Amino acid sequence: MQVIKKSIIGLTVMVLFRGCIDPYTPEIDEIPEMIVISGRITDQEGYHSVEVSKSTSYNEPYYNPVSYCTVVITDDKNQRFDLTEYAPGKYRCWVGKEFLNAGTGYRVEVTTPDGKQYQSDYEMILPCPPIATIFYESKKQETDNPDYPLYGLQFYVSTDASGFTCRNFLYDLTETWEYHSTYMVSDYYDGEIHFSDVVYDTLFYCWQTSKLYDIYTFTTKNLTTDKITRCPLNFVSNQSLRLSVKYSLLVRQYSMGDEAYEYWNTIQQQTQHTGGLYETQPVSITGNVHCITHPDETVLGYFMASAVTEKRIFVPRHFDFSVYTPPCQAYGYDSEALSVLLQSYKPRDYPVFLLNLTGLKEGPWDFADQECFDCTKRGGTTVKPAFWE
């Protein structure tokens, strides 16, 4: 049975030019609304999730959840795990380690509120080898403007799969980085200016974590050995705060069968090669879920069973290239202009941190963007992760 079926949905291109040239938007033939069922169960004890939604317009995509479904994961040993809806269209259940074993097959069964029944093929958990190493190299990446290349770090993963039956792998990445404010907090305004002869670092150190949604797959089927020595992962440029102090990458490696690899590799190829008018056009990719009550219905998504191993790497600040520095110069206000600005702030915005230009109790003071004092305003938290070195 052919697992991967493609139906072209088209390509939306919006090219904006300066001047009197109208943007070109090609007409798109939309395909009918389809159910999307996706999820993953691993050999790790914990919550395992399934998401049920419907496809939306290519021109106006949005998350279209399907609630009030009956969702069950079963294995080939007649074990049954009932999922509950914890957010619109998102279902989960806790599965203990004793039920999550290599060599066991799992599938998902979904019944929608209108009575339609969906079922995936059985997916077997294949043992997954440990990650050998994660490493990186300084790299210059060309851009559309040859005068302004990007500099940064290219990450790679190596794995020795010798002795394992699994030949296909999917990589899931989560990045965490430490960054600092430009100034420590001291003097501030809350209706009047307060002088402090002490500086505080309570808002100076921050950490931010972000899951990467890019897809990375690799197979050893075409290699002479079962060793992955240089699988490329993400590139981190110097144009953000990620490399300003210390950066960490957590890599999770999932084992896959051949059909799962075809599915995820096809998605990887599509996400890497859609972006230009003459590049590969995006497609809808059907997976291993089928409609039992209406066999001719096309179903999108994939239910995957996998073993998982993980490894983390820490990267100190590199001096092979300059890193992004937030623009935190003082505004150059005189006392009158500063007073007018501060009076525009509401009590809900207090305190407003200020720069004391002389360190004296009588000032004078100047203004700088508040994110230059408060690192949390750049998206992070002052709570240091438990794993941080």
Average pLDDT, the chain: 89
Q: Measured in Å, how far apart are the chain's first and last C-alpha atoms?
A: 49
Q: What is the pLDDT of residue 278?
A: 43
Q: What is the pLDDT of residue 284?
A: 63
Condensed to tens digits (0 to 9), the pLDDT of residues 352-380 reads 999 999 999 999 999 999 999 999 999 99
Per-residue pLDDT, averaged over 142-169, amounts to 93
Q: For residue 272, is pLDDT > 90?
A: no
Indicate left, alpha or beta for 332 from its phi (over 0: left) and psi (-120 to 50: alpha).
Answer: left
Condensed to tens digits (0 to 9), the pLDDT of residues 177-226 reads 999 999 999 999 999 999 999 999 999 999 999 999 999 999 999 899 99
Per-residue pLDDT, averaged over 330-350, amounts to 96
From residue 314, alpha-carbon distances to 239, 249, 278 in Å are: 19, 7, 39
Instruction: Assign 343 to helix, strand or coil.
Output: helix
The lowest-confidence range among 61-65, 242-246, 333-337 is 61-65
Q: For residue 20, is pLDDT > 50?
A: no
- Amino acid identity at 301: G
Q: What is the pLDDT of residue 280?
A: 44
For residues 73 and 93, the answer to whether their CB atoms sit within 8 Å is yes
- Both tokens of 361, joined, read 């109790």
For residues 249 and 234, the answer to whether their CB atoms sit within 8 Å is yes
Q: What is the pLDDT of residue 2?
A: 40
- Map out the domains of the chain as residue ranges: 6-128+256-305, 131-185+199-248
Q: What is the pLDDT of residue 275?
A: 47
Separation of alpha carbons 67 and 50, rounded Å: 12
Per-residue pLDDT, averaged over 294-320, amounts to 94
Which of 184, 178, 182 is CA-nearest to residue 202?
184
Q: For residue 11, is pLDDT > 50?
A: no
Q: What is the pLDDT of residue 147?
A: 86
Q: What is the pLDDT of residue 18?
A: 42
